[in-house]
Structure 1
Amino acid sequence: TRESGHHGCRRRRREKGCDMKVLDPSIVEGADGIAELLAGGLATLLGPEAAARWQIRREHYQPRVLLSADGDGIAAAALVSNRPATAALKIVDLWCCEAPALTPMLDAVIAMARQARAAVVKWEIRHDAGLPEAARPRGFVEMQPRAHPDPGVDGYALWLTPLPHTEPRYYAQSTEFTCGAVAGLLAAELVGRPGFSGDLRDRRLELDFWRTASNFPACEPIGLAVAVQRHLGVDRHVEVALDTENPLLIDEFRGFDREFRIELQNDSRQHAADLGVTVRGDRVEIAEVAERISVGEIALLLITQTPMHGQNEPHWITAHASDGQTLVVVQDPWLDRPGGETWVDAHDLPIRLAELDRMCRWGRDEHRGVVFVARE
């Protein structure tokens, strides 16, 4: 968030051809439209560092720019984005020529979020910039930092749908394949067991946990539940709901590569029995998942990435809060950094139950795998 010098900003808007006629407020949608807007003079107003962020092509994440204008051209601009199938809107950046223009632009963004039925508005702010004073009366509060703090980006949240809950720290998976390990370790933290420490030991912990849970490279539900139970100890109950007795996540393998993964999954079932991990064979309904989370349980959810990222890949997320009826709040350990995402996108992310039902399916038969972890 930046404000330009009063007189210099007006002069640049006239001199650089930024006096385009803009409705108040107007919306420019899509990566191509934003690129054209930047080339037409907005990049000059933003400055090189900010313009570079605005030029990232976020097309899968529904980028939009809200604009307001006065007699000299663009007076304020807000770049927003959101993951599809989620109930969050993110302010990537908000620029204004003069301080008075910030408040109506911020209110326009909040109004847009309400119209889209977003549960939360997140604001990604450069670490040395700080939250503008106009945002605090509207209810924006700082979000918990990542386990390894990002020195460049802070995050603030305005919950439009109140959902009181304990906010966890955020940790991003450091590989393409350790989502299950990160999800399990985040669950451990949430139930009061050792998790990430916030230093260089965390990556080794992530990889070591993945080794114990992996079906190489993916973590299947029962193997992940066994690893979580071993990490937590016997005084925390772990339960698996998996609607098939057949091996999972092996469709792409043949021959030996397939057979040894089947052997590992059979072994995981035996370990689950030995450790007292409950294994259900029915298809758990999302309504039950939400209700159990709302009374304190943690749920590790096997999802497809298609609704959020357009990629049909298996993935684990940690669901840690819910109102029991409409929303579930998750930690997603994966970020699309080339697409402009930061920890602000994936942290404390609300998802409506209908969308979560669409995500929690995997493979041709759309199997559902959920690992429940009790807090006590």
Structure 2
Amino acid sequence: MSSQQETPVKSIVVPFEPGTSPALLSRLGHHEVPERWHTVDRSAHAPHIVAVVGDDGEGWAAAALVTARPHTAYLKIVDAVGDVQAAVAAVVADARGRELAQVKWEGWTARPEDAAAAGFTALDAPLTQSEGAAGPAAGYVRWLCDGVVTEPPYYGQTTHFTCGAVTALVAQAHAGTLPGEALDRRAELTLWRDATNFLACEPVGLGVALRRAWPSSPVTVHLDTDRPVLLDHLPEKEQEWRAVLQRTSRADAERIGVPVDPRHLPMAAIRDAIGRREHVLLLLSLAGMQGFDVPHWVLCHGVVPGAVVIEDPWANAATGDTWVDAHLLPVPDSSLDTMSAISPDGFRGAVTIGRPQRPGTSSSGTAEE
């Protein structure tokens, strides 16, 4: 991760308000403000302008539109105008001052050479983008902390209900168990079909489907309730038959040897699992990051000081959210722990996937006699 330092620049931070920003940005003179700054309501992601003060001490030499999902540990540059290098350096300095883990830069207008000169690394292009969320073709990241986080492929879920299947597939691709070319819509829908509780994937059913698809991958389900889950929003008749399917999934788990741990998986255990090069599929509520309390699966695959790095297969186009936000997303431990309590009664669910076992090894990875 980059430890490159910037030459200090004099900058200011002002809120981005569509009604007043054109007047503020007119100080840049001939520099055109991208129309996309005004095409969506970014207010949920704390939009602000980081501006570099010119040599005269009054005008602006550069500016960047910056946003971020709430309760996360990054900033995202949507665009930089004027003296691009100065604008980006000012954003990085602002992120450092906030002790954030990373700065991202959407590739709408960013040139690869400018990103590289500013210490950013190109993100791999997404295999798909989530339904309705057409983000930029390119994106860049600069880490501001120590550590090594390897990049999984980014695959945006192609339906509103296949987040569980997608996170599992991305985990297996990141582990090398699933060939990259096999990560496609057919695989997404096939795994979802085996795991679904119509329409959601509940933890036990997802764990059972994973074990069936990859028998050599150790799987453990973590679910701190023994009642059916993710059904409270449905009428009683709809809950009843789905509960039958969840009980069947528990019987299948016992039959094929998928442990169901009845305890909550704490952040320390998630960090330990990632340290062992395992993957954690975590069920969380989108209330904190997106503003609505909907259960959603994400993949925990990396750690940095103070934050867990996740892959979110969904982006909220209505707020200007794109795959650049959702990919390699650092979330503070305390925030992620809060998000993982699923209403109405605060249950928690997760699935851990261990490193694939070679024939002739035990679950601990040692050779069998």
TM above 0.5, one fold? yes
Residue from 306, 314, 328 that aligns with 1:326: 306
Aligned to 2:200: 218
Q: Pick the aligned partner of 1:259 from 235, 240, 244.
A: 240
Identical positions, percent: 37
- Counterpart of 1:292 in structure 2 is 273
Tell me, what secondary structure is at the counterpart of 2:346? coil
TM-score, structure 1 normalization = 0.84
Supply the AA of the counterpart residue of 1:124.
E
| 1:322-367 alpha-carbon deviations (Å, 9 max, x no partner) | 24x6321110001011211221110011111111111111122211
Q: Residue 221 of structure 2 aligns to a residue in which SS? A: strand
Which residue of structure 2 lines up, in the alignment, with residue 192 of structure 1? Answer: 176
Contact 2:81 2:87 in 1 (8 A): no
Q: CA RMSD in A?
A: 2.4
Read off the aligned partner of 1:37 and give its amino acid letter: S
Matched, 1:273 2:259: no
Alignment: residue pair count: 341
**Judging changes above 3 Å, is the alpha-carbon distance between structure 1 residues 179 and 163 closer, same or farther for their aligned structure 2 residues?**
same
The 8 Å contact of residues 319 and 331 in structure 1, kept in 2 or not, is answered as yes
Q: Using the alignment, how far apart are the partners of 2:113 and 2:41 within structure 1?
A: 26
Describe how 1:119-130 pairs up with structure 2 within 5 A.
119-126=101-108, 129-130=110-111
Task: Give distance in 1, aligned partners of 2:292 and 2:81.
Answer: 33
Aligned to 1:61: 45
Which of these residues, 228, 233, 256, is aligned with residue 247 of structure 1? 228
What is aligned with 1:340? 320
Match for residue 338 of structure 2?
358
CA offsets, 1:191-224, max 9 Å, x none?
A: 22226637xx822321222111111111110001
- SS in structure 2 opposite 1:126? coil
- Pair 108,318 (structure 1): closer, same or farther in 2 beyond 3 Å: same
Give the stretch that moved more between structures: 201-210 or 68-77.
68-77
Paired with 1:54 and 1:131, the residues of 2 have a C-alpha distance of: 25
**Contact 2:88 2:118 survives alignment (8 Å):** no
Gaps of 5+ in 1: 1-22
Q: Distance in 2 between matches of 1:45 and 1:306?
A: 41
* TM-score normalized by the length of structure 2: 0.86
Matches within 5 A, 1:52-91: 52-70=36-54, 73-91=59-77
**Which protein is richer in helix relative to its size?**
1
Question: Which position in structure 2 is the counterpart of 1:37?
Answer: 21
Instruction: Indicate conservation of the 8 Å contact 1:76/1:95, yes or no.
Output: yes
Partner of 1:302: 283
Return the alpha-carbon distance in structure 1 between the equivalents of residues 225 and 62 of structure 2. Answer: 54
In structure 1, C-alpha distance between the alignment counterparts of 2:180 and 2:318, rounded to whole Å:
25
Equivalent residue for 2:213? 231
1:158 alignment counterpart:
142
1:317 to partner: Cα distance: 0.1
User: Given that residues 208 and 253 in structure 2 are in contact (C-alpha distance below 8 angstroms), is that contact kept between their aligned partners in structure 1?
Assistant: yes
What are structure 2's unaligned runs of at least 5 residues?
1-8, 357-369
CA contact (8 A) 1:123 1:155 kept: yes
What amino acid is the match of 1:92?
V
Partner of 2:329: 349
Query: Which residue of structure 1 lines up, in the alignment, with residue 365 of structure 2?
Result: none
